[in-house]
Amino acid sequence: MRIRPETPADHAAIRQINIDAFAAHPFSRQTEHLIVEALRRDGALAVSLVAEADGGEVDESVIGHIAFSKALISGRDLDWYLLGPVAVRPMLQGKGTGSALVRAGLAALRGLGAQGCALVGDPAFYTRLGFTQAKRLAYPGVPGEYVLCLPLAGQEPEGDIGHHPAFEAGL
């Protein structure tokens, strides 16, 4: 497996992976593919990586995708980012692709000088990757146990996490 930045040739595969990965997810609104496309259209994908299997056609070799976009903390740009969505082809989930994408994405954020990363997600998965339950950050409308963060430099700020309007895509 190789992880690399997305290219325009990957867009169709990224769309399909997000559709397939979230089709039966109990907490998804099945709009993840629309979110990624809206972030891309608005130039708001700060980091967008694909996991590529060895060999095969480009569309078939892309097996996972992760997106990061800028977060605002109580309306302020504190160099924090949101992770999401992250998606892996369903038949390959649970084999380390998602974890590898998260690690590579966090390395890319560090390269950008990011102060931290936040997300809404499954604590059982993300705490294995260094995230902890946010103590000072909140995501309006989301129970606190699902709001996770990872300071990359400094400490966790205090305030409400704001997202790009793309996260309302398809609603």
In this structure, the number of other CB atoms found within 10 A of the CB of residue 1 comes to: 15
Q: Residue 152 pLDDT more than 80?
A: yes
Predicted pLDDT at 24: 79
Report whether 135 contacts 156 (CB < 8 A).
yes
Domain count of the fold of the chain: 1
Predicted pLDDT at 170: 62
Half-sphere exposure of 39 (CA within 13 A, CB side): 28
Report whether 1 contacts 51 (CB < 8 A).
yes
Helix (H) or strand (E) holding 102: helix 97-111
Predicted pLDDT at 54: 75
Give, as one character, the DSSP assignment of residue 62.
E
Predicted pLDDT at 57: 47
Domain extent for 69? 2-168
Q: Residue 4 pLDDT more than 50?
A: yes
Q: Residue 100 pLDDT more than 60?
A: yes
Report whether 82 contacts 105 (CB < 8 A).
no
In this structure, the number of other CB atoms found within 10 A of the CB of residue 50 comes to: 22
Predicted pLDDT at 168: 86
Question: How do residues 33-56 score in pLDDT, each as one tens digit?
Answer: 989 999 999 999 999 999 998 765
For the domain that residue 127 is a member of, what is the CATH number?
3.40.630.30
